[in-house]
Amino acid sequence: MALTGAQPLAVSAARLAVAAAVLGAIALVARPRTRPAGTAQEALLAVAGVALAVHFAGWIWSLQYTSVAVSTLLVATTPIWTALYDALVRRRPLSRLAVVAFLAGGAGLWLVVGWSKPSPPVPGHQLLGAALALTGSLAIAVYFILIREVRARLETRAIVTRTYAWAALALIAAAAIARQPPPPWHDAAAWSGILAMALISQLLGHTALNASLRWFTPSAVSFSTLVEPIVAALLALAIFRERLTPAAIAGGFVVLASIGIVLREEPVAEVVEEIL
């Protein structure tokens, strides 16, 4: 809906700017519950914010070239990349089951990308759409890895207030350089989409994940995020009439199963911290 009134960078910038503005207003009236971030932490949060900007730019841009279902599924592969980083950089060993999950996930991605027949706004660039979605997935993995370094010292609100603001600034600059203006103020459909993403997906969604830990186990919260690609595919089918081939659907379930195995192999506390 948002892309009907503006280009991807402008939509991404507007989404993060609205979310950052709301959090900034809250920060002005709310009393901080943790000590201020140091210079090194602020620099880390700035880099994380840029990674977040790349995530949203890649994800939203991918919707120009591939379907909602394929894009959302590819972006949801983030736990695989964070687990791979931990195995290669932090020397955390992978079990045989996790290795099998990686291989199966690769096969599932091939089925999804190679056998789906999306009808996006700009047809004929399906591989580009998949590449942009995977870029978004890798970028948010970088974001989670960086945030993990400061999470013990800062509360969630302080982290997201800073990273959303840095992401918004980076996207506004990128949109200006690319000459992608925001939607006209009278474009109700486009601004409805942007406000829905900013207020519901960005702010309410993350808040709900944090709050749900009061009543559900961390593993239940982690696995609940695997429902997102399925719900997105069903909504895209109902609203935009986007269909997937049986092979692509099968590949999607293989990818989701692989992500579930990887999440199960990860220490529960770290998985939830990365998701939130």
pLDDT for 14-45, tens place per residue? 999 999 999 889 888 876 655 556 678 888 99
Look up residue 122 and give its DSSP letter. Answer: S
Instruction: Give burial (CB, 10 Å; 0-12/13-18/19+) of 265.
Output: middle
Task: Quote the pLDDT of residue 32.
Answer: 62
User: For residue 193, is pLDDT > 90?
Assistant: yes
- Nearest-CA neighbor of 155 among 27, 15, 43? 27
User: For residue 266, is pLDDT > 80?
Assistant: no
Residues 25 and 161: beta-carbon distance below 8 Å: no
Task: Quote the pLDDT of residue 208.
Answer: 65
Mean pLDDT of 229-235: 83
The more confidently predicted of residues 182 and 32 is 182
Single-letter code of the amino acid located at 160? V
Rg of the chain taking only CA atoms, in angstroms? 18
What does pTM read for this prediction? 0.82
Structure tokens belonging to residue 191: 């601004």
- Nearest-CA neighbor of 258 among 93, 102, 99? 102
Task: Quote the pLDDT of residue 207.
Answer: 61
The more confidently predicted of residues 9 and 157 is 9
Instruction: Give burial (CB, 10 Å; 0-12/13-18/19+) of 1.
Output: middle
Residues 272 and 221: beta-carbon distance below 8 Å: yes
Confidence of residue 189 (pLDDT cuts 50, 70, 90): very high
Task: Quote the pLDDT of residue 215.
Answer: 55
Task: Quote the pLDDT of residue 210.
Answer: 45
Mean pLDDT of 62-73: 88
The mean pLDDT of the chain is 81
User: For residue 73, is pLDDT > 50?
Assistant: yes
Domain residue limits, the chain: 2-29+37-181+190-275
Task: Quote the pLDDT of residue 271.
Answer: 44
The more confidently predicted of residues 47 and 243 is 47
Mean pLDDT of 247-251: 83
DSSP H helices in the chain: 8-29, 39-62, 68-75, 78-88, 96-115, 126-148, 156-177, 188-196, 205-212, 218-224, 227-240, 246-265, 268-275
**pLDDT tens, residue by residue, 137-177:** 899 888 888 887 777 677 778 888 889 999 999 999 999 99
Residues 139 and 58: beta-carbon distance below 8 Å: yes
User: For residue 214, is pLDDT > 60?
Assistant: no
Task: Quote the pLDDT of residue 61.
Answer: 94
Structure tokens belonging to residue 155: 């509360």
